[in-house]
Amino acid sequence: MPGLLVVLLVGLAQSGLQTMAFAASCGDGIVDAGEDCDPPGVVACPAGSPAGAYLACNSDCTCPATMAPTCPPSPQAGCLRAPTHGALIILNERSKTLPLRKRLVWTWRKGTVTSDVASFGDPVGATSYQLCLYDEVGGQPEVKMTANAPAGGVCAGVPCWKRTATGFKYRDKAPDGLSQLLLIGADVARGRIVVKGTGANLPLPDLPLSDDGTVTVQLRTSDGVCWEALYSARARNQEGQFKAPSD
């Protein structure tokens, strides 16, 4: 009986040591309970996560918020809306035989952005951006365009995102849709957003758009922040071109 007791105590002690050895520890190379990935800095997050193949596991062994590759079927509620005529949109596709002439410009004029720099999140490391265009058809919004600017990443050999004194810049010289983003916070008294796209991979909608109702453009982040502009009047909507100031 004493021998059995000794065996049990030794077994419990070994079990305890084993439990301690395998306790959750970010950076030990084991994906423990509560961790998404391990170790930090390794590309180990699921497909669809911000920055795709360039995404690194966070320092706390979690993955940044994911964003679906396509826009949701309806516009996101609660977005910050551009003031009247505060946001201009230009869509151009002058020649279907020359895809490099595809062009998108969506800009909130200087001083119209109501978000501070903190609202932009951290696109250098974790916050992805997505531009969504909805066109009302029969009174119902339909997704007509999705364009993404993932967090982090390398574009033409250099980081896609750059932090500035007033916000962030994104540039892709070989774009898969979006080529430039400029995010300037309103806390510097000249808030502004500029989104540009060009090239064969720019997923422009068929033009002209429907004349049924309102066109909604939203810039969404994987953090849940959103800016939008509505277009239902004063639009130049014709073959190969849509251009309008916001309502």
Domain ranges of the chain: 2-54, 80-245
For residue 22, the model assigns a pLDDT of 39
Tokens 């997505």 found at: 130
The three-class DSSP label of residue 61 is coil
Burial profile 148-164: b = 16 or more Cβ within 10 angstroms, e = fewer: bbbbbbebeeeebbeee
The three-class DSSP label of residue 137 is strand
For residue 37, the model assigns a pLDDT of 83
Of 142, 138, 173, the residue nearest 70 (C-alpha): 142
pLDDT of the chain, 247 residues: tens digit per residue: 444 443 333 443 444 433 333 345 888 888 888 888 887 767 667 665 654 434 567 778 887 766 778 899 999 999 999 999 999 999 998 766 665 578 999 999 998 998 899 999 999 988 889 999 999 998 899 999 999 998 888 888 899 999 999 999 999 987 667 999 999 999 887 899 999 998 888 899 999 999 788 999 999 998 899 999 999 878 899 999 999 999 9
For residue 31, the model assigns a pLDDT of 84
Residue 97: other Cβ atoms inside 10 A? 6
Q: Which two tokens stand for residue 73?
A: 């079927």
Peptide bond into 208 cis (omega under 30): yes
